[in-house]
Amino acid sequence: MKATHNVHNFLEQFWPSTVDGLALGSIYALIALGYTMVYGVLRLINFAHSEIFMIGTMAVIGALHALGVSSLYGGLGLVGFVIVLAFLAGLASGASAVVLELVAYRPLRKKGASRLAALISAIGASLFLQQLFARIVIPEAFDLPKEKGALPVQGHFVERDNVIEIGDLVISNDKLIIFVGAILMMVALDQFVNRTRLGRGIRATAQDPETAVLMGVNIDRIVTATFAIGGAMAGVAAALFMLRFEEAKFDVGFLLGIKAFTAAVLGGIGNLRGALAGGLVLGLVEMYGAALFGTQWQHVIAFSVLVLVLMFRPTGILGESLQQARA
Amino acid sequence: MERLGTLRRNKMRVTGAVAVSAVLALSAVGCGGGDDDKGSGGDGVTIGFLGDLTGENSGIVIPPKQGAQLAIDAYNATNPKVKITLKTYDSQGKGEQAVPLAKQAITKDKVVGMIGPAFSGESAQADPVLEEGKIPNISASATNAALSSNGWKFFHRMVANDNVQGAGVGTFIATTLKAKNVFIINDQSEYGKPLSQTVKAAAEKGGAKVTEDAIDPTASDYSAAVNKAKAAKPDAIFFAGYYAAGGKLIKQLREAGVKGRFLSGDGSLDKGLSAGAGGTNADGSLIACPCLIDPTGKAGEASKKFAEQYKAKFNAEPAIYSAEGYDAATAFIEAIKAGNTTAEKINEYLKTIDVAGVSKQIKFGANGDPAAEDVYIYEVKGGTLPLLGKASEAKVS
């Protein structure tokens, strides 16, 4: 009886769960890109990527405060506003990611340190950035007392309305923008990596760094570009995230970062299209799982699915490595 | 992740306990004869305050700290024989930080009493340390019912526990609000989960149908729980958790078009709730609390006088648990006034204390729970939380 009750719940909540799963999954996917690109090129898991995302959310909320936004945007005005915010956040996150690479990874790479050293450096950078924002940057930037730096910063700017209503399928403007925005960014990035000279360089480095150097690829430039692009994607993700949740905090990236990394592994780490697939699948699995078994099982279900997929496809849904993502 | 956290905490607790017993054994050997000059140094004693002073839920811990500060400063101003120093310990609400801080308070700072730990989760971990160190502790805000059922001899609190709160608010939902269909969401914490169960039991006893779900308060997206609430079409929604998550939950519920009155417990009694909810989303929500916040003196002369003093000192209205923090400090002050300056003597005194406090009569049962069991209801109105009255008497418009 309990089981049929659960299935009944699931069917009743199928459409809302699908919409929310895709919206959340889109954000996972955009963050996952940063993990996957850096892994593809350097075989490094950049744990500080969640803080790059956090910096993006701070850029958005900072811009909202600086511009003194007090009115709510809806409809087309919202789209324009989000594009501006996404650009700003992408810039802030992309630049931070480049600096992060210069400070935390490049010196180690030049000295030929082991990958484990870089991994520890990544964890250190992650903690450093979190505390830097909680203790100094947030109190200074938002004119708060020092002890309030760990509190969430809010800014309300979105007027929500339902743009699509077909029976149970109801999509609000913010969720639609998140999904469409994420897909557009994905397509643009895919084209960029596959069609441009720089993209070819990135793929070549991912495939075989030594041969790439012999062919005249400047590795440092490629690595910088990889961090800049991955960071910018996290910035866009941050803008879309703010559109929906309107709240930023020094550790906002922690759980999202773990989930996005999971999405990257699920889709096949190093694989751009895998990040998209992994993110959307993870978002949907979480929401469907929660509808079926109760929300307290949300994380358990997500990670169980990860384990199951990796048991049968150890390299993830679409397989590993950047170079296979050719058109 | 949660799993890992628990494992690590358990491990810390075990090593913590071992370390404390080792330290205690050493000090017992070391200062067998020196015990006398520990408290009667003449120049004063130290009382600790342990809780989340900078973390995201510090909004419900700073007021009791200020309440305690007010009481102790007023006492010191009378130029007594034994002055009291209030030393604060910032646990950020985390058990793994509260445990070493409690040890530091016992062994290094030699506190004779502790106000706190503030939250239930950290209390479950740090109270055993205080128990072993034989330090009387009075929490102004830890309401988890199970805390008083461990047979601890040094544990006290100034608020009624969650069983009292849950029964009060559950009955209120079913009888005063006459809700037939109630949706209960908990935050899976040591505070929220048991509270949700007592509210559920009381609401069902009052004839309401209850549906349940949970959220992860560290996440941003609560849409799974919101979708379930939407499908249930409740008249009343009760959230058992803290305000940081509560505000975001209200926002997402209202944006999804979920109607029904929002209620929550003491963990959500903070202005941060309506700020997080945005706009007027939180207005009309009702918050229950076994605590008394009464800046206008609606409940009596003592609260009015307390509010005036508090305002003069901190330039702010009394907030959540400030009266309870004041009363906890008063309990220690009374003990010290009566000539008890060692931790164990103070603890003996607390068994018999029976004086009028601001929030309630200061009197403890054998398990450390307060004798008074009133639950109050507050209404969210913009950024304010006016008192409606006792849960058994409150009228709702």
pLDDT per residue as tens digits for the range A99-144 = 999 999 999 999 989 889 999 999 999 999 999 999 999 999 888 8
What's the pLDDT score for residue A155?
A: 82
Could you say which of B227, B244, B278 has the minimum Cβ distance to residue A13? B227
Q: Note the pLDDT tens digit of each residue in A9-46.
A: 788 889 999 999 999 999 999 999 999 999 999 989 99
Residue B7 has pLDDT above 80, yes or no: no
What's the pLDDT score for residue A327?
A: 34
| Closest C-alpha to B331, from B273, B370, B281 | B370
Query: Residue A169 falls within a domain, yes or no?
Result: yes
As a dihedral over the C-alpha atoms of residue B223, residue B225, residue B227, residue B232, rounded to 10 degrees, the angle is -160
| Closest C-alpha to B248, from B224, B271, B270, B217 | B217
What's the pLDDT score for residue B46?
A: 96
The whole-angstrom separation of Cα B230 and Cα B226 is: 6
What's the pLDDT score for residue B6?
A: 43
Query: Residue A230 falls within a domain, yes or no?
Result: yes
Q: What count of CB pairs under 8 Å joins A to B?
A: 89
Output the average pLDDT for chain A.
Answer: 90
What's the pLDDT score for residue B84?
A: 95
Confidence of residue A285 (pLDDT cuts 50, 70, 90): very high
User: Can you give the residue range of the structural domain that contains A65?
Assistant: 31-257
Cβ of A24 and B221 within 8 Å? yes
Please provide the size of chain A in residues. 327
Query: Residue A253 falls within a domain, yes or no?
Result: yes
Q: Note the pLDDT tens digit of each residue in B299-309.
A: 888 999 999 99
DSSP B36-61: GGGTTTSS-EEEEEEE-SSSTTGGGT
Domain boundaries defined on chain B: 2-15+41-160+303-362, 163-289+376-390
What's the pLDDT score for residue A233?
A: 96
Query: Residue A301 falls within a domain, yes or no?
Result: no
* pLDDT, mean of residues B330-359: 94
**Locus of tokens 């963050």:** A31
Q: Torsions phi, psi of A72, nearest 5?
A: -95, 140
Confidence of residue A72 (pLDDT cuts 50, 70, 90): confident
DSSP A4-72: HHHHHHHHHTHHHHHHHHHHHHHHHHHHHHHHHHHHHHH----TTHHHHHHHHHHHHHHHHHHHT--SP
Query: By three-state DSSP, how is residue A241 classified?
Result: helix
Select the more confidently predicted residue: A20 or B27.
A20
How far apart are the two ends of chain A, measured CA to CA in Å? 49
Cβ of A295 and B278 within 8 Å? no
Query: Residue A297 falls within a domain, yes or no?
Result: no
Q: Note the pLDDT tens digit of each residue in B247-271.
A: 999 999 999 999 999 999 988 988 8
Could you say which of B53, B220, B228 has the minimum Cβ distance to residue A13? B228
What's the pLDDT score for residue B57?
A: 80
Query: Residue A139 falls within a domain, yes or no?
Result: yes
Measured between beta carbons, the chain A residues lying within 8 angstroms of B221 are 20, 24, 244-245
Measured between beta carbons, the chain A residues lying within 8 angstroms of B224 are 17, 20, 286-287, 290-291, 295, 298
Measured between beta carbons, the chain A residues lying within 8 angstroms of B184 are none
ipTM of the complex: 0.86
Select the more confidently predicted residue: B28 or B259.
B259
Measured CA to CA in angstroms, residue A191 lies from A74, A83, B338 at distances of 31, 20, 80
Output the average pLDDT for chain B.
Answer: 88
Confidence of residue A146 (pLDDT cuts 50, 70, 90): confident
DSSP B134-163: T--EEESS---GGGGGS--SSEEESS--HH
Work out the minimum CA distance from B161 to partner chain A, whole angstroms.
24
Q: From 3.40.50.2300, 1.20.140.10, 3.40.50.1480, 3.40.5.90, which CATH number describes the B163-289+376-390 domain?
A: 3.40.50.2300
Query: Residue A17 falls within a domain, yes or no?
Result: no
Confidence of residue B25 (pLDDT cuts 50, 70, 90): very low
Helix locations, chain B, DSSP H: 2-30, 62-77, 95-107, 120-132, 162-171, 192-205, 223-232, 243-255, 272-277, 301-314, 322-337, 343-352
The whole-angstrom separation of Cα A2 and Cα A4 is: 6
Which of B227, B249, B314 to probe by mutation at the A interface, max A CB count within 10 Å? B227
Q: Which residues of A136-154 are buried (b: 16+ CB within 10 A; e: fewer)?
A: ebbbebbeeeeebbbbbbb
Select the more confidently predicted residue: A208 or A74.
A208
What's the pLDDT score for residue A3?
A: 66
What's the pLDDT score for residue A230?
A: 96
Is CATH 3.40.50.2300 what the domain over B2-15+41-160+303-362 is classified as, yes or no? yes
Beta-sheet pairing, B137-139 with B113-115 = parallel
Confidence of residue A322 (pLDDT cuts 50, 70, 90): low
Measured between beta carbons, the chain A residues lying within 8 angstroms of B256 are 16
B70 alpha carbon, distance to own chain's centre:
18
The residues with which B182 forms a beta bridge, in sequence order, are: B210, B236
The reply to whether B163-289+376-390 shares the fold of B2-15+41-160+303-362 is yes
What's the pLDDT score for residue A19?
A: 94
What's the pLDDT score for residue B115?
A: 97
Cβ of B255 and A172 within 8 Å? yes
The whole-angstrom separation of Cα B130 and Cα B20 is: 10
Measured between beta carbons, the chain A residues lying within 8 angstroms of B92 are 150
Could you say which of A16, A17, A154 has the minimum Cβ distance to residue B276? A154
What's the pLDDT score for residue B258?
A: 93
The whole-angstrom separation of Cα B4 and Cα A6 is: 29
Residue B313 has pLDDT above 50, yes or no: yes
Q: Note the pLDDT tens digit of each residue in B34-89.
A: 333 344 445 799 999 999 998 878 888 999 999 999 999 999 999 999 999 999 99
Bond prior to B117 in cis (omega within 30° of 0): yes
Measured between beta carbons, the chain A residues lying within 8 angstroms of B189 are none
Q: Is B211 on the interface with A (CB under 8 A)?
A: no
Confidence of residue B151 (pLDDT cuts 50, 70, 90): very high
Token readout for B355 is: 């004086």
Cβ of A241 and B214 within 8 Å? no
Up-side HSE of residue B383: CA atoms within 13 Å toward CB?
Answer: 3
Confidence of residue A166 (pLDDT cuts 50, 70, 90): confident
Select the more confidently predicted residue: A302 or B332.
B332
Query: Over B59-75, what HEC string results?
Result: HHCHHHHHHHHHHHHHH
The whole-angstrom separation of Cα B120 and Cα B98 is: 11
Structural domains counted in chain A = 1
Query: Residue A15 falls within a domain, yes or no?
Result: no
